[in-house]
Structure 1
Amino acid sequence: MLTFTPSGIYCPPGGFYIDPWKPVEKAVITHAHSDHARWGSNHYLCHPDTAPLLHLRLGPVDVQSLDWGEQLDINGVRVSLHPAGHIIGSSQVRVEHKGEVWVVSGDYKVVPDGISGPFEPVSCHHFITESTFGLPIYQWEDQEIIYQQIRQWVLDNQAAGYSSVLLAYSLGKAQRVISCLAPLQQPIYAHGAIANVQETLIQAGWNLTPVARVPVEPNRNQLKGSIVVAPPSADGSSWLKKFGPVKVAVCSGWMQVRGNARRRNVDAGFVLSDHADWNGLKTAVKATGASAVYVTHGFQAAFSRYLTEQGIEAQEIQTDYGTEEQE
């Protein structure tokens, strides 16, 4: 029922695409990250929490919203969205036609982060899954342990006279990092890209911690010892000079591998990911009960081979979706 085309994942009987990477007539969007929600399509369908983020990133596009679990008939194909737990508004797409059910996971994680909502397994015959961290080495620690490490790192930096710059993807990861830092009860400065997302979500009704935009020309001592959240693209830029002496940390699942922080030339790395780890991927696939699994971006070869060894028909699919830190 779903096919893989040069424009993206296509449903021929429904006449729509799911997270297309080229402009199409009808696009069903799992979430608002730029590799899954791209500009140029004529009509977009997504969860209501994703809609304001699409408008922020794509401008005045035509967006229709569909609540989780609500069904929509598109040319005889029943479409519904279900929580993916990746970021705010992230959804899996369930497609049913003539008794056959497919589910497209988008990006997901199975452990709740306190913001994005819990992942919901959806039974299906065919499951299209990501595999960003589809190797056994990627197994996440409890979120609160990582949060405590981040807060202590910030306090240690301040005691030594440094500002703390935490690099985190502007949509999803940044909201978690800001939530982590809120208990310190100090101003949290944010790069404009992150401030825009945070303000959009607050205006949409989310009870999130407000951030302060970094002044264009700050007072010499205004930002000394401050807490700053910025996207990975800010790393190594002259923009960091605003904060005086700084320590820089990357918040990413890639920090699970020893040496990645050193290779990135940053002072610290915190293992914080918006994607499922190895065990999470296995748990999600098993919960669907799918007899056929299609493995997309990430470690497709390793994860599909593992599934095949478990007696599940699995194959690798090449897509244009990005990795965790691509913006």
Structure 2
Amino acid sequence: MPSIIEFTDKGLYCPAGQFYIDPWKPVDKAFITHAHSDHAKPGNKYYLCHRDTLPMLQLRLGDNHYQSIGWNESLYMNEVKVSLHPAGHIIGSSQVRVEHKGEVWVVSGDYKTENDGISGAFEPVPCNTFITESTFGLPIYHWKPQEAIYTDIRNWIHSNQLAGKTSVLIAYSLGKAQRVLKAVAEITGNIFVHGAIWNTHQVLTQAGWRLPDVIRVTPELPKEAFKGQVVIAPPSADGTPWMRRFAPYSVGVCSGWMQVRGHQRRRNADAGFALSDHADWNGLLEAVKATGAEKVFVTHGFQSVFSRYLNEQGIAAGEVKTEYGAEEEEAVTEPEKADE
């Protein structure tokens, strides 16, 4: 029996429905799980996504042929039934459920199992075959509860204020930045942001999302305005001339990679907060088991370790090579360059 989803050099392909899921090369029809750059590439003829993802795709990819649906809404591509379900990764992030002739496959995209209060709670979707990420698919990755991490961030900001320093938090402009905003808004009314985060913020608030007010960092603002305040910037701004205006400042990196101290040293960060938009080891295992899948394909991350463990647990698993994972680098965009 042919697979419902095939692994091709362009991406995950459904032959019966004639569409791709998060393709990394241009195709005619593409279902997009979320708006991060490694999953949402330019050049496709038609884009299908969740309605909350649409504004971000328009910001990042410009004018295209877009179609959006809500979670748990079904549509048919030829004889294939397709629906989107919450992934909990970032705003609008979805898993793609594909059903054909009584068989169900689910493509997770990126996901996390702790509800962050913004992105929607991850929804396990029963299926025969589950395609899962494994970004943090090692037992060493075990996240503290979100509120505990938020408390650590607030305490760090307070200590910087006592030392007369500006607190610069490094966070991806889509996903992490919105969570960090939520964490710091409780202790300060002045939150400064880099242009890339400002642009994302504007699109989300215009789409109806209620987020804390922010102030865009511009060349006209005096250096004194930042003293003892909080600044949120994307990874691409770290270590650039753009940062000089905040001196004296302390840098805190918000990333799951901060679970390992060596990563904090390599980033020359003053503090590291293991705040991740991906599931940790236990979250990955819980998600896989909750689907009841008989077969699991493991994509980007620690594929070999995670798939081997699943096989040892009696869950048939295999590795799949994809081109996902690049959003961890978050390339510099034109609005960011203009702010340097």
> What is the TM-score normalised by the length of structure 1?
0.99
Aligned residue pair count: 327
Name the amino acid aligned to 2:193: A
Equivalent residue number for residue 335 of structure 2:
none
- Could you tell me which runs of 5 or more consecutive residues in structure 2 were left unpaired when the two chains were aligned: 331-340
**1:1-327 equivalence runs, <5 A:** 1-322=4-325, 325-327=328-330
CA distance in 1 between counterparts of 2:275 and 2:319 reads 26
User: 1:184 is paired with a residue of what secondary structure?
Assistant: coil
Q: Secondary structure in 2 aligned to 1:158?
A: helix
Q: Report the 3-state secondary structure (helix = DSSP H, G, I; strand = E; otherwise coil) of the residue aligned with 1:280.
A: helix
Secondary structure at the aligned position of 2:223 is classed as: coil
Partner Cα distance (1:90, 1:211) in 2 = 24
Cα RMSD, aligned residues only: 0.9
**What SS does the aligned partner of 2:133 have?**
strand
Q: CA deviation at 1:259?
A: 2.5
Q: Structure 1 residue 323: deviation in Å?
A: 5.2
Q: Give the drift of 1:306.
A: 0.3
Residue 226 of structure 1: how far off its partner (Å): 1.9
* Unaligned stretches of 5+ residues in structure 1: none
SS at match of 1:307: helix
What do residues 148-186 of structure 1 show as CA deviations (whole Å, max 9, x unaligned)?
110111111011011010000110000000110000132
* Residues 136-159 of structure 1 deviation map (CA, whole Å, 9 limit, x = unaligned): 000000111110110111111011
Amino acid at match of 2:69: L
Deviations 1:189-235 (A, max 9, x none): 00011111111111000111121100223213122222100001111
CA distance, structure 2, for counterparts of residue 20 and residue 35 of structure 1: 9
Judge conservation of contact 1:218–1:242 (CA < 8 Å) in 2. no
In 2, are the aligned partners of 1:292 and 1:313 still within 8 Å (CA)? yes
Q: Distance in 1 between matches of 2:97 and 2:149?
A: 33
1:109, CA displacement in angstroms?
0.4
Q: What percentage of aligned pairs have identical amino acids?
A: 66
Alignment TM-score, normalising by the size of structure 2: 0.95
Amino acid in structure 2 at the alignment position of 1:200: V
Q: Distance in 2 between matches of 1:94 and 1:86?
A: 16
